[in-house]
Chain A
Amino acid sequence: MAATALREQLNGLVNSMFAEGLLDQQFQQLQMLQDGSTPGFVAEVVTLFCEDSERILTELTKLMDQAVVDYSKVDAYVHQLKGSSSSVGAQNVKLACIQFRQFCEENNKEGCVRALNVVKHEYCHLRSKFETMLQLESRIQAYENKQQN
């Protein structure tokens, strides 16, 4: 059954993300909150996270491009990103944010620039996996809907 194969693929993907440290147990909490009445919950949260992160990363890039960096603003954004990544279980992104905040506190421009790159890298890696995850989920959903009809 095609849906079963897809499910296996999806589970495999998610498991590998846990294994790699891309996701932590908070993501499992999200999965637990999804049920029959809220089938799209994880997808919704993941999508919101991606949109939010991209907005923040854009702002951070602009701020770091300034001749004189406003570290309090930078810190505020990183704090936001750290919060949302923590809430969705995006472990590597969260850890990268924690590092970033360290450099902010020290007003270390070079450190911050590097840290921003790490955050972007981690985020991009995560996003591509999330995209695959959501595609698999919607294909599975499509199969299940067909079966019901």
Chain B
Amino acid sequence: MGGGKERIEKGRRRVRGLLALQFKNGVNSWEDLDENLVGSCFPCGGILVGWLISPLSFPSSPPPPQRIQSSESKREPNQHQPNPSQPPPPLLLPFLHLPSSYDHSFIAAVVVEGNQQQQQQQQEVEEEGMTVEAEAPFHVLAVDDSLIDRKLIERLLKTSSYQVTTVESGSKALELLGFREDQSSTPSVSPNQHEIEVNLVITDYCMPGMTGYDLLKKIKGSSSLKDIPVVIMSSENVPSRISRCLEGGAEEFFLKPVQLSDLKRLRPHILKGKSNCKGQKQQQPQPENNNNNGSSSSSSSSSNNCSNNQSNKRKAMDAMDEGLSPGRTRPRFSSDSLTVV
């Protein structure tokens, strides 16, 4: 324990890491951002000391990074030991330059310093190898047998700030998603290396072999995948086809050729998908591991997707507060709320 303790001691003084939080909706101004982040304690036990913000996000220029009062001081004193040492000095941080495709959302990165009170959480988080990436937008899986359409949808999605994976068939899509035929209850399988975590599937309807509708049914019929929103595209405007798809669980039906403006309709579904995920998590009495939503993934950031990007400010606060009170033993999903954007 000696080595660990030393490591944490050092961690206390050093910048713990860069956590990027992505707010898609509900944060329209610096004031909103402030409310969301100020007074938030992070599960890893951090104190918000500064931030990097995309200069593209808000019309006015951002305030300089500043020392934000830790919510610890706002909490009841008997809930945790007071921090005996001096608060760390504020850090001046450069602005993060993001590509212009990010002007529909913004990324706020907060620099967090380790806090001795939450040693336990820190250790857990470190051990989990909390990955922090500067930006990890929503991930969309696009399925289309036409190469040209795949290129097009990929560019459309990337321009709209999504991370994209394209595949040419429904069966490839299912393979990537880690679909297993006999899933009727929550599986406890070890992660398949090929599995990826997606926030939305967008698929062509007319495909040889498995149609988009077939793929939709498979996804909705799978306990681990059913909460992934699915959107169907078709070049043909057939009302009965459209209603069949919507009744089958598709969130939207896009007529091809799909345009940039159509993609704006994706956001609410992706966000809803995320909060469904979170809902699932909360239903479990003890979130014992990161794979509790069933779609196991090899990356530790997998279930992070569930708790982040709350469109509702209040939810964001709640998510962060979950990890807070030091009295509680922090379950391993502590890193989730941090995400990893």
Interface, chain A (partner B; CB < 8 A): 26, 29-30, 32-33, 35, 37-38, 41, 44-45, 48-49, 52, 79-80, 82-84, 86-89
Contact = CB atoms under 8 A, between A and B. Distances in A.
A26 B149 CA distance: 13
Chain A contact surface mostly? helix
A35 B235 contact: no
Given A33-B155, A33-B156, A37-B99, A84 B148 contact: yes
A87 B100 contact: no
Contacts of A38: 155
A75 to B, nearest CB: 12
A86 B257 contact: yes
A24 to B, nearest CB: 10
Interface size class of B (residues with CB under 8 A): 10 to 19
B235 A45 contact: no
A86 B256 contact: yes
A83 B149 contact: yes
Given A29-B259, A29-B260, A86-B256, A48 B151 contact: yes
A37 B235 CA distance: 29
A48 B256 contact: no
Contacts of B259: 29
Given A45-B148, A49-B148, A52-B148, A87 B155 contact: no
Contacts of A49: 148
A80 B207 CA distance: 10
Contact of B147 (A30, A32, A35, A48): A48
Nearest to A82: B235
B111 to A, nearest CB: 28
